Amino acid sequence: METIKQAILGFALIFSLAFGYLYHAEKGIFDNQTATVLSTDPSSVFTTSIKIPAPPKNIQLQSLSSTEVLLSWDNVKGASYYRVSATLGSDTIWRQLAVVSGKINSYKHTRLAPDTTYLYKIESCNSLGCSSNSVDGKTLSTKTHSLGTAGVVSRFSGTTCSEAGDGEVLYFNPNKTTSGSGTLSDPFTKLSLAIREGVLLGFVQNGATLCLLSGNHGQISISNLHFQEPLIVMAEEGEDVKIESVDINKSSNIEMEGFSVSPYFGNPYVTLSQGDAMIHVSGDSSQNITLRNLDIFSMPWQVVSTWQVNDWDTKVSDGIFIRKEVLGDILIDNVKISSVARGIKLNGERVVVKNSVINSFTKDGIRVDGEYLTIENNIIKNAVKIPDDGVHQDIIQTFRRSDSEGVTIKNNLLFQKASDHPYPALAPATVQGIGNFDGRSVNWTVEGNVVVVNHPAHGISLHGGAINSRIINNTIYDATGKARIRVPGQNSSGNIIANNLIFNSGFAIEVEGLSNVVSRNIAVPPSFGSLYLVNPLANDFHLLIGSPAIDVGDITYSPFYDFDGDSRPQNQTVDVGADEWVL
């Protein structure tokens, strides 16, 4: 076993930094083994029932817009996951994009530069390794695709119900005491009552839009309903629509858009029980659910601003809960969640959370206990300390006591305490940043995040060990100088820790195991933040002009773009940290 510990080395290093030099964590490649072989006896290799899978075939590329392309391929027998990589047409370096579950056979690549040629490689993988991407000299699993400028219109690009979908539009007005025919001039009553009266069974066709008008529509429960085309439930443009809670059980192809969800709207207000949430998705046939442009909160800010510590302990509910048995393909997009215990709890597979804000939480910002999950382009901030209940606080946490595979956490801004904390007196002294505890992280990607916490250990910590995971181009800032990157465990191997910018006064990176790569990380004390960053004290973690982190990264392991969406590299090579400096 090899152990790597990289630290600030004292006055000599600090002195050199002050004069414009910088410390690079030296590249360490330990033990070049890349796979575990069952036996060295050739006969046993050929008789084993487990083999490295064949390469994917029939790779297809569909242009979705000037900056998005959908890749698809035929499923491969024996593949437990697929590894998707890309390179620019003029480049020779493959950069990993994602790890995709063996249960699905597609991947959407976003934020592409228009009119640029990309070459794609898709490998089939299992516990023995990954397929070759060439047979008989032919590259079977790569394709060149030059994106044009033609785009497609998003389903929710329109703001009115009539523009949302292609099916019929049914209107609901909670201020009516009796239901009408569902037209705008004669709408149904509140949605919760209309559901109990059988409207969804008796009126709704595939592709219909349920258009909600201002008022409280109650507690929405959708169960045992499956649609070939999505059922859209949305607020009409300019309407103030309130929902007390949403429960989706054993249902599929449902999209929800544009309203507020809070038990505060109920009379009387009731805090949801432990293990439940304001939006709850369950059932072993639930899939293809979209939650977009929603405002979810236990109580509104004008009430929260008057709370004391006991209120934060007794009056908060969880935001969104996706249960373990759910089939997947869940999208949570541009959702605002505030004054909660846990912002989002993900126990199922194939869930994407993006472009969302979680503000003020007492337990975890996001609990990530499922697999093949993507947490991307979110802001999670402002932990609130309540009386000690034995639960430590994390901004993003996994705690499942078994291996967790295919999780991607990238381009998120994570703040223990931001300037808009609703009750600064209750801000905790320490919060863990990104952590997976007690189970191994297999094929994880932690990329492009800004993590701002005060913690004696855990900035980014794959604490249960890691296999073939990547921690790349993150910025970790701890004013106390202690939070770091940790990948402990003798069973860790094949991991890449590269291009990270860590403000730490002690050991900045701790890695154990075999075949790990540690390359071009910068570790400096937080007192040097003003030499590297625009204004860390004001939560501006962009690179300062002339920052020593510019043009010193390792492009071999770099993503294509930074947390702002700026392409990498901008100059000779990539920058270190979450930001790519742009002139």
The reported pLDDT for the residue numbered 2 is 52
Q: Give this prediction's pTM.
A: 0.84
The reported pLDDT for the residue numbered 391 is 66
Instruction: Return the amino acid letter for 483.
Output: A
The reported pLDDT for the residue numbered 390 is 60
Q: Which residues of the chain have pLDDT under 50?
A: 1, 7-48, 134-157
Q: Residue 119 falls within a domain, yes or no?
A: yes
Burial of 52 (0-12, 13-18, 19+ CB in 10 A): middle
The reported pLDDT for the residue numbered 111 is 78
166-218 residue pLDDT tens: 788 999 999 988 878 899 999 999 999 888 888 777 778 778 999 999 999 99
Q: Residue 410 falls within a domain, yes or no?
A: no
Q: Residue 112 falls within a domain, yes or no?
A: yes
Q: Residue 573 falls within a domain, yes or no?
A: no
Q: Residue 93 falls within a domain, yes or no?
A: yes
Identify whether the C-beta of residue 509 lies closer than 8 Å to the C-beta of residue 518: yes
The reported pLDDT for the residue numbered 144 is 35
- Give the closest residue to 133 by CA, choosing from 73, 185, 70: 73
Identify whether the C-beta of residue 459 lies closer than 8 Å to the C-beta of residue 467: no
Distance CA 101, CA 403 (A): 14
Q: Residue 557 falls within a domain, yes or no?
A: no
- Residue 382's H or E segment, with its range, is strand 379-383
Identify whether the C-beta of residue 463 lies closer than 8 Å to the C-beta of residue 484: no
The reported pLDDT for the residue numbered 169 is 93
Distance spanning both ends of the chain, measured CA to CA: 44
Domain that holds residue 77: 60-146
Q: Residue 505 falls within a domain, yes or no?
A: no
Domain count, the chain: 1
The reported pLDDT for the residue numbered 5 is 55
Joined together, the tokens standing for residue 125 give 């993988």
Identify whether the C-beta of residue 493 lies closer than 8 Å to the C-beta of residue 515: yes
Domain CATH code at residue 129 = 2.60.40.10
- Residue 170's H or E segment, with its range, is strand 169-172
Q: Is the preceding peptide bond at 268 cis, omega within 30 degrees of 0?
A: yes
The reported pLDDT for the residue numbered 272 is 65
* Long-range contacts of the stretch 108-113 (C-beta < 8 A, 24+): 108/64, 108/68, 108/69, 108/70, 108/71, 109/68, 109/69, 109/70, 109/71, 109/84, 110/67, 110/68, 111/67, 111/68, 111/560, 111/561, 111/565, 112/66, 112/67, 112/68, 112/69, 112/147, 113/67, 113/567
Q: Are strands 117-126 and 142-146 parallel, antiparallel or unpaired?
A: antiparallel
Q: Are strands 81-88 and 95-101 parallel, antiparallel or unpaired?
A: antiparallel
The reported pLDDT for the residue numbered 337 is 97
The reported pLDDT for the residue numbered 28 is 30
Q: Residue 208 falls within a domain, yes or no?
A: no
